[in-house]
C-alpha cells in the first residue's frame, strides 16, 4: 500500500483511563525500504518494516494517523553529524566497486557486519530522512511521530557499526534541539545505544538512558559507571541487565527510573528507540520480554504527554518484530488491536497461531530482585546529583527544516519542496572538501589517540577520560533565549561545526553479535 493513499486522519482516538487524551500522530514509510538486502544469511532484514506496514494497513491503523513518504536526507543533512569523507564514501561505494576501496572499507568499518549492498546510500538517506522528518513534525505540533525503519543507534561519526551506517537518531535529536531546550533519548534495544551516547556525552541538553544486556555482549559499552563528562556529567544513564529478564523485572526498573528522569530533566521532547531484539525468542537476543511488556514502555513514555518520536532498531526474528511494532503503533494511537491477525500478504509468516501476541519462554531470569534494586538505587542516586531541569541558554537557531503538508505525496516533489530547507531533494552535488573540517578548536585531531580534549563552559581546556569517543561540536541551539558567550558551551560531543573533522580507528565487531 502506497503511503500517499492513507492518512486522511491524524488524531488518535481517546485512550482508556487516566491517559485519555487524543494524540496527533504521524507515520513515515517509504515503500522501497523493504527492497534493501544486506545479503544472504545476514540477520538484518529491512523487509521487516514492509511486514509491519502491511499489518498496520490490514488493522486499519494507517487511517488513524497521517502517513508521509520521507524526503531523502541530503549529504549536508547527514554531515551535520557524520564526517563528510565518510558520507562521500557511502555514496560512492557499490558492490561492484568495493574492491577499489579496500583501505576505506577498513577505515570506515564497512565489511562483514556492515556490508556494501545495492542501494546502500539511498537506504541511509531514506531512513535518516524519515527520522529527521518526524522530528520536524514534532517541532511543528504533532504529538507522536513514528519511523520503524530508523533507530540505527550504533553508527559513529566516522564509521559504521553493528549493522548501522548513518545515525538517524543523532540527526533527529539535532533537529529537535532547534526548538527544544532539552531532549531525552531512551533505548530499549537489547544492545547498548553507544553511538547516541557517544555523540552527546559532554552536553546537558541531551540525556541518554539505555536499558541493555551488559557483559561479554556487543558493543561492550554501557557500564553503569559511564555517566557522562564535563557539562554532560550525570546526563548519561546506563542500566545494565542480564539474560532472561521478563516483563515484571523490566518494568520494575524501567518505570521508576523513567519517572525520576522525567521529573528531574523535564525534556521538551522524547526519542524512544524501540529495538525489538529485547523480545523473547529473538534470533540474536537473550531477553524474555513479551510484546505487551515491551509495548508497556511505549505506553508509559506516551503517558507524559511530551512530544514523542518512536523509532525502530534491532530485531531479528522478523515475524515478532512486525508484531511488536504494529502493536506499539496501536499503543501510540491509543488503540488496543485484536490479537487475532487479519489475513494479509504475509499471513503465513505468523503461523501456526496467527496472533499478535506470542508467549515468552521459560528461560531463567538471571536478574535477581536485589540486583535490580541496587541498579535502581544507583541510577536514582546519580539523578539526585542533577539540578532540576537545567537552564540552558540558546545560540542562534540552525536553518529551518520544512516538510510538505499531509496530502503532498501526490504532488511533484520538486514543486512542493522549500528551496531553503535543510532537507533538499537534489543530493547529487559533490561534497565539500574534507580537509577544511580538519580542525577542532584549532587543534588537529589524529586518528589514534588515548585522550580527547574539549572546552569547559568558560573556554578553558579540559581532558576527558579515554573512552573511545570522539570530540565533536556543532550549532545545535534554538533561539528562544539570548546566545551564550561561548557558543560551543552546550554543544554535544558528536555534532559538528564548520571547522571540524576527526577520524577514528574502527573496532570491527563480529557478525551476528549485534545490531
Which residues are known catalytic residues? 154
C-alpha cell at 350: 505468523
Map residue 129 onto helix, strand or coil: helix
Rounded-to-integer distance, Cα 258 and Cα 263, Å: 8
Phi, psi of 171 (to 5 degrees): -65, -40
In degrees, rounded to 5, the angle at the alpha carbon of residue 181 between the alpha carbons of residues 176 and 186 is 60
425, 402, 410, 399: which is closest to 125 by C-alpha?
425
Q: How many residues does the chain have?
A: 515
Classify residue 472 by its DSSP letter: -
Rounded-to-integer distance, Cα 479 and Cα 493, Å: 20
Map residue 182 onto helix, strand or coil: coil
Strands 269-273, 66-68: pairing is unpaired
Match 481517546 to its residue by C-alpha cell: 14
Please count the other Cβ atoms lying within 10 Å of the Cβ belonging to residue 27. 29
313, 344, 317: which is closest to 328 by C-alpha?
313
Rounded-to-integer distance, Cα 228 and Cα 234, Å: 6
Q: Is the peptide bond before 104 cis (omega within 30 degrees of 0)?
A: no
Rounded-to-integer distance, Cα 267 and Cα 274, Å: 19
313, 315, 482: which is closest to 397 by C-alpha?
482
Burial (CB count <10 Å: 0-12, 13-18, 19+), residue 498: exposed
Rounded-to-integer distance, Cα 497 and Cα 473, Å: 6
Helix or strand (DSSP H, E) at 453? strand 453-455
Burial (CB count <10 Å: 0-12, 13-18, 19+), residue 70: buried
C-alpha cell at 132: 529527521
Match 503461523 to its residue by C-alpha cell: 351
Amino acid at each position: 500500500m502506497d503511503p500517499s493513499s492513507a492518512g486522511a486522519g491524524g488524531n488518535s482516538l481517546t485512550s482508556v483511563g487516566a491517559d485519555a487524551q487524543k494524540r496527533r500522530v504521524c507515520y513515515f514509510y517509504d515503500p522501497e525500504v523493504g527492497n534493501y538486502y544486506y545479503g544472504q544469511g545476514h540477520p538484518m532484514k529491512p523487509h521487516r518494516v514492509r511486514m509491519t506496514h502491511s499489518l498496520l494497513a490490514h488493522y486499519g491503523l494507517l487511517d488513524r494517523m497521517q502517513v508521509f513518504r520521507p524526503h531523502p536526507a541530503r549529504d549536508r543533512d547527514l554531515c551535520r553529524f557524520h564526517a563528510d569523507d565518510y558520507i562521500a564514501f557511502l555514496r560512492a561505494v557499490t558492490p561492484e566497486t568495493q574492491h577499489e576501496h579496500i583501505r576505506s572499507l577498513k577505515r570506515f568499518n564497512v565489511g562483514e557486519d556492515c556490508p556494501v549492498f545495492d542501494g546502500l546510500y539511498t537506504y541511509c538517506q531514506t531512513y535518516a530522512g524519515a527520522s529527521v522528518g518526524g522530528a520536524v513534525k514534532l517541532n511543528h505540533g504533532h504529538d507522536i511521530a513514528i519511523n520503524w525503519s530508523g533507530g540505527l543507534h550504533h553508527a559513529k561519526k566516522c564509521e559504521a557499526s553493528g549493522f548501522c551506517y548513518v545515525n538517524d537518531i543523532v540527526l533527529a535529536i539535532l533537529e529537535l534541539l532547534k526548538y527544544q531546550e532539552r531532549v531525552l533519548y531512551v533505548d530499549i534495544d537489547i544492545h547498548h545505544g553507544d553511538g547516541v551516547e557517544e555523540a552527546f556525552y559532554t552536553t546537558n541538553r541531551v540525556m541518554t538512558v539505555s536499558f541493555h544486556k551488559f557483559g561479554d555482549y556487543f558493543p561492550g559499552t554501557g557500564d553503569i559507571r559511564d555517566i557522562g563528562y564535563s557539562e554532560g556529567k550525570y546526563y548519561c544513564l546506563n542500566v545494565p541487565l542480564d539474560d532472561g529478564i521478563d516483563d515484571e523485572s523490566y518494568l520494575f526498573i524501567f518505570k521508576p527510573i523513567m519517572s525520576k528522569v522525567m521529573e528531574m530533566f523535564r525534556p521538551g521532547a522524547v526519542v524512544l528507540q524501540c529495538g525489538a531484539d529485547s523480545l523473547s525468542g529473538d534470533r540474536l537476543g537473550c531477553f524474555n520480554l513479551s510484546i505487551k511488556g515491551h509495548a508497556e514502555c511505549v505506553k508509559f513514555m506516551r503517558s507524559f504527554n511530551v512530544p514523542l518520536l518512536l523509532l525502530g532498531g534491532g530485531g531479528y526474528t522478523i515475524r515478532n518484530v512486525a508484531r511488536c511494532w504494529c502493536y506499539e503503533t496501536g499503543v501510540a494511537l491509543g488503540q488496543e488491536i485484536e490479537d487475532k491477525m487479519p489475513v494479509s500478504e504475509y499471513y503465513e509468516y505468523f503461523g501456526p497461531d496467527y496472533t499478535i501476541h506470542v508467549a515468552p519462554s521459560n528461560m531463567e531470569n538471571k536478574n535477581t530482585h536485589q540486583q535490580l534494586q541496587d541498579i535502581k538505587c544507583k541510577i536514582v542516586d546519580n539523578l539526585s546529583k542533577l539540578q532540576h531541569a537545567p537552564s540552558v541558554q540558546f545560540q542562534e537557531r540552525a536553518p529551518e527544516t520544512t516538510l510538505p503538508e499531509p496530502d503532498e505525496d501526490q504532488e511533484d516533489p520538486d514543486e512542493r519542496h522549500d528551496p531553503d530547507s535543510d532537507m533538499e531533494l537534489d543530493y547529487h552535488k559533490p561534497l565539500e572538501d574534507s580537509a577544511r573540517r580538519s580542525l577542532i578548536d584549532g587543534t588537529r585531531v589524529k586518528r589514534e589517540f588515548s585522550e580527547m580534549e574539549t572546552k569547559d563552559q568558560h573556554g578553558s581546556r579540559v581532558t576527558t577520560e579515554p573512552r573511545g569517543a570522539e570530540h565533536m561540536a556543532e550549532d545545535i541551539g534554538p533561539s528562544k533565549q539570548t546566545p551564550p558567550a561561548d557558543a560551543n558551551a552546550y554543544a554535544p560531543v558528536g555534532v559538528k561545526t564548520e571547522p571540524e573533522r576527526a577520524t577514528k580507528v574502527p573496532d570491527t565487531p563480529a557478525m551476528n553479535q549485534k545490531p
